[in-house]
Amino acid sequence: MNAFPDVSKIRYEGPQSENPLAFRWYNPDELVEGKSMKDHLRFTVCYWHTFRGTGSDPFGGGTMLRPWDDGSESVANACNRARVAFEFFEKLDVPYYAFHDRDIAPEGKTLAESNANLDAVVAVLKEEQQRSGVKLLWGTANMFSNPRFMHGAATTCNVEVYAYAAAQVKKALEVTKELGGENYVFWGGREGYQNLFNTDMKREMDHLARFFHMAVDYAKEIGFKGQFLIEPKPKEPTKHQYDSDAAACLNFLRAYDLMDYFKLNIETNHATLAGHTMMHELEYAGMQGGLGSIDANTGDLMLGWDTDQFPTDYYLTTQIMLVLLKYGLAPGGVNFDAKVRRESFEPLDLFYAHIGGMDAFAKGLKVAAAIRADRALDKFVDDRYSSWNSDLGRKIESGAVNFKDLESYIMPKGDSAKNASGRQELIEHVLNRYLDKVK
Ligand code: XLS
Ligand code: NI
Ligand code: NI
């Protein structure tokens, strides 16, 4: 393959480099907290945006120039595209990729035909993985594009569509296993509702839980050891998605006895659509042992939908890396669920976009590690909660006292409790100081 003749393998040249086809921060073998950047970040290219994105939007058709793609829905075109994708992964020096079943192979007229198409392309992917050493971070099934899924897949009102979805996930699990996928993702594409007048929410959620239990059972049966992940998102395409945010997902998993089998794949643009920061979603999942992987992208403050832009903001990546360093990421990874904008239509733009995203995360990793090395934020947190290290704090935390005890303790003291400053602005300065410091 030589689909990108103007690009050779992207290398680290350091922060001073002005070469747009070089890394300034991502230095794969550089150790941070005793581990290589490559192992911390586990960068992943997503197949759907990068190799199937056309640049179309509600106002116009595709713009992308992809000279290797003949535009047909043939298996031969899909196999050729797969080989081009691996040339891209290798030149970009990413260790992982991720896909939906329908991104890699065309959907046939019947499920049997779709499965056969999938097998043909999977054989090529397997060969390319072995040749290049690039691995599969996760697989998933697209159960939202085909019109049959208009009412949902695992939460559909139509039992035959449900059966179809189950069969599709069965096959997706098989190919993910075949390719050594380290995780399997469920993003609930159309699992939600437009209004409650025609929706039996309880019944739909029971069905969804059944679906997940069947997936867990089948994974056991075929010996698939990857981590199951749910990807929260609050809206789009449905008005209300059941997996609306980390809290909703974890509550669902707990209610239906699925906590042992699932973690979350947290995406920046989905967090912000839910009215949360990415850091909030990561911390909320992490503190409950539910942080699995991330979809790295960013939204646009001026636009209200999932624009899936490449992340470039050091402030954002620093926040993310602070949480990922705390809880760990493997077997998850940093998956660029991000697309070049429709005006960036040349193949070269795919490189610029990913390089920018990878550098932003590598810099965020270094800044977060520097903050952690000095315990620069921990000090604020420790101070802020220091009153809880008293005898009284310990008694409350261990459950040794009740309301009456607390009343007897505080009543004679009057209004003596003294608060200390939260130091919000100072903390923001400190963050900027570390951003300046890492050179
Ligand atoms: C859509 C989701 C999707 C998942 C995979 O908004 O981000 O791309 O990551 O199904
Ligand atoms: Ni995503
Ligand atoms: Ni998304």
What is the tens place of the pLDDT at every residue in 307-339?
999 999 999 999 999 999 999 999 999 999 999
The residue from 40, 49, 93, 103 that is catalytic is 103
Residue 1: predicted pLDDT: 77
- Report pLDDT for 39: 98
At 275, the pLDDT band (50, 70, 90 cuts) reads very high
pLDDT for position 417: 82
Distance CA 51, CA 394 (A): 56
- Ligand closest to 52 (CA) is 1
Query: Nearest C-alpha to atom 4 of ligand 1 is from which residue?
Result: 187
User: Is the model's pLDDT at 205 over the cut of 80?
Assistant: yes
The closest-lying atom of ligand 1 relative to the alpha carbon of residue 265 is: 9
Q: Which of 40, 49, 100, 270 is catalytic?
A: 100
Q: Is the CB of 306 under 6 A from ligand 1?
A: yes
* Separation between Cα atoms, residue 3 and residue 129, nearest integer Å: 18
Q: Is 295 a pocket residue for ligand 1 (Cβ < 6 Å)?
A: yes
Across the range 403-409, mean pLDDT stands at 97
pLDDT in tens, 65-117: 999 999 999 999 999 999 999 999 999 999 999 999 999 999 999 999 999 99
Task: List the residue whose alpha carbon is closest to atom 8 of ligand 1.
Answer: 337
pLDDT for 10: 98
**CA of 14: how far to CAs of 28, 136, 310, 350, 363, in Å?**
12, 29, 21, 21, 11
Is 405 noted as a catalytic residue in this protein?
Answer: no
Residues of the chain with pLDDT > 70, as a percent, come to: 100
Residue 282 has what pLDDT? 98
CA angle 52, 298, 26 (to 5 degrees): 85
* Cα distance between residue 184 and residue 163, in whole Å: 19
Mean pLDDT value of segment 238-259: 98
Q: What is the pTM of this model?
A: 0.97
Confidence of residue 306 (pLDDT cuts 50, 70, 90): confident
